[in-house]
Amino acid sequence: MDNRPVDFKEQLKERGYKLTTQRRAVLDVIIKNEGKHLSTEEIYELVKEGYPEIGLATVYRTLLLLDNMELVYKLDLDDGLSRYELNRNKEDHRHHHLICTKCGAVSEVEEDLLESLEEQILVKNRFIVKDHRVKFYGYCEACSQVKEPDSEVIKP
């Protein structure tokens, strides 16, 4: 079902890059942890479990490469770290993130629903929208039921 590794090798070849153990290891970790929004450091630690010799710089370089190849998608969840998620298909980055400012939980809205807004932007601002980044801040189901006074953990 997952033929990405094959695509990966081909895509690297097309660009004149080599398929190395390190690159496979990084991609594999991201694939195995789909949905977790891992940070660079977290990816590094996970890769080291199966490949202790890898260097942090290699992880940074590989992530940059995967991002350029659009196999991966870089996120900013406002904690000062770069996080990544698997980009299942080219149009897949059209989902949004819900960030709970109380507990820090991050979930996703699979729908896009920005077409009408983008159409208005085209007409009113004469700006052609090609991509977008949308983050919603608020309270997740669990946190919205708590009665205690607010104590925000996350600041947008």
Site residues for DNA per CB under 7 A: 9, 12, 16-23, 39-41, 51, 53-58, 60-62, 64, 80-82
CA angle 28–35–55, rounded 5-degree value: 40
Q: Which amino acid is at 111?
A: E
Q: Which residue has the tokens 């996350």?
A: 154
Could you give the CA distance from residue 154 to residue 117 in angstroms, rounded to a whole number?
A: 28
Could you say which of DNA, a copy of itself, none residue 21 binds, taking C-beta under 5 to 8 angstroms by partner kind? Answer: DNA
Q: Say how many C-beta atoms besides its own lie within 10 A of residue 6's C-beta.
A: 9
Q: Kindly indicate which of the ranges 9-17, 20-28, 29-37, 109-117 contains the residues binding a copy of itself, using the contact rule CB under 8 A.
A: 109-117
Q: Say how many C-beta atoms besides its own lie within 10 A of residue 132's C-beta.
A: 13
Q: Which amino acid is at 65?
A: L
Q: Contact between 91 and a copy of itself (CB under 8 A)? A: no
Interacting residue with a copy of itself among 18, 90, 130, 147 (CB under 8 A): 130
State in angstroms the smallest separation of the CB of 114 from a copy of itself: 7
Q: Contact between 60 and a copy of itself (CB under 8 A)? A: no
Interacting residue with a copy of itself among 54, 77, 88, 139 (CB under 8 A): 139
